[in-house]
Every structure is written in structure tokens, then in C-alpha cells.
Amino acid sequence: MEPRAVSASCSVLAQWMGPSDANPAGFVHGGTVMKLCDEAAAAAAIRHARSRVVTAAVDRMTFLAPVHVGDLLTLQASVNAVWRTSMEVGVRVLSEDPRSGEVRHTNSAYITMVAVDEHGRPVGAIPPLRCETPEESRREREAQLRRENRLAERDQLRDERANEDLGGGGRPA
């Protein structure tokens, strides 16, 4: 399968934050930002895989600064790494006060999307990723490290549970 460049699926979503997005403190709900991150990530993933995708995991979601009602939110999503049917998509969220022009980096997210068929089952395989800049290559390496850490943690937790199931906290009888 032909590799597809990161730049071919980079996606930008922009949305004005209105009063209905606010929490009682007057800032934009974290959940609103998370939903938009998911949507921006899905757009990039669909454009890379050219298939349906589902969100398998939100690996990280950081809130660096509050978003204000009236701000223009811009979400930049790009595929960081591709495995067999899954992809990590990085989303960078910028919040602009349109009156002053001040732009702040308010959020970052890493989301794992899986390409699926019409029955919701993972597809055979998706095109590999072609990194064209040193920054894209760095993001790919870092995504690979996050995946290795996640899989190592999963294996460790599975082993611990198996030991607990043996009784006696895993100690020999």
C-alpha cells in the first residue's frame, strides 16, 4: 500500500465559543473542548485511512489554560503515527481573543483512532505514514514510545491480575 504523507490528512477545525459552551464559572466546558478534539482527530484519521474510524482511546488530554466565551477556537489535527489499523492523532488547540488578537495554546490531545468497516470491525490495514519534515519524524517517534509504554502497562496489569486470580496475592501456596 502506498504511504500517505502527514500533510495529506492534516485537518483544521475552527469554532466560535458561545454562551451555551460555558460552565457556571463562565469558562468554556472542558467537555466541549474534548468533543471538538475528538472531531478534529476523526477528520484527520478518516482522511488518512479513507474509511470510517472509531475512537479507541484518548491517550492524553491537557488543559493548559482556560478558554473564554467569545474566543475563536482553532484545532489543528495531524496523524502522528500509523500501525496496522490504528493511528495516533495529535491535536493542538489554539484560542484567539478576536478583539485583541491574542492567541494562546490552551490544549493538546493524543487520540488513538481505529479504521473500521461498515460493521464497526477493524479493517485489514491502512496506508503507512510518510513523514516529510524532522518535526513529523519526531512526532512519529514519540507516538511509538507512547504506544510501547501503553502496551507494556497493559501487559503488566494483565500479569498482576492473573497473579491475583491465583490467590494469595500471587505468592506460591
Closest CB to ligand COA among residues 47, 68: 47
Q: Return d(Cα 12, Cα 30) in angstroms, integer.
A: 19
46 and 52 in contact (C-beta within 8 Å)?
yes
Closest CB to ligand COA among residues 70, 128: 128
Calculate the alpha carbon distances from 143 to 23, 81, 88, 147 in Å: 33, 6, 7, 6
Taking CB atoms, the residue at the shortest distance from ligand COA is: 83
Question: Is beta strand 86-96 parallel, antiparallel or unpaired with respect to 52-63?
Answer: unpaired
Per CB under 6 A, residues contacting ligand COA are 54-57, 83-86, 112, 114, 116, 120, 122
Say which residue the cell 501503553 belongs to. 150
Question: Is beta strand 4-5 parallel, antiparallel or unpaired with respect to 129-130?
Answer: parallel
Could you tell me the smallest distance in angstroms from the CB atom of residue 146 to ligand COA? 10
Closest CB to ligand COA among residues 42, 67: 42
Closest CB to ligand COA among residues 22, 61: 61
For the four alpha carbons of 13, 17, 21 and 23, in that order, the dihedral sign comes to: positive
Could you tell me the smallest distance in angstroms from the CB atom of residue 137 to ligand COA? 19
Could you tell me the smallest distance in angstroms from the CB atom of residue 125 to ligand COA? 8
Could you tell me the smallest distance in angstroms from the CB atom of residue 56 to ligand COA? 4
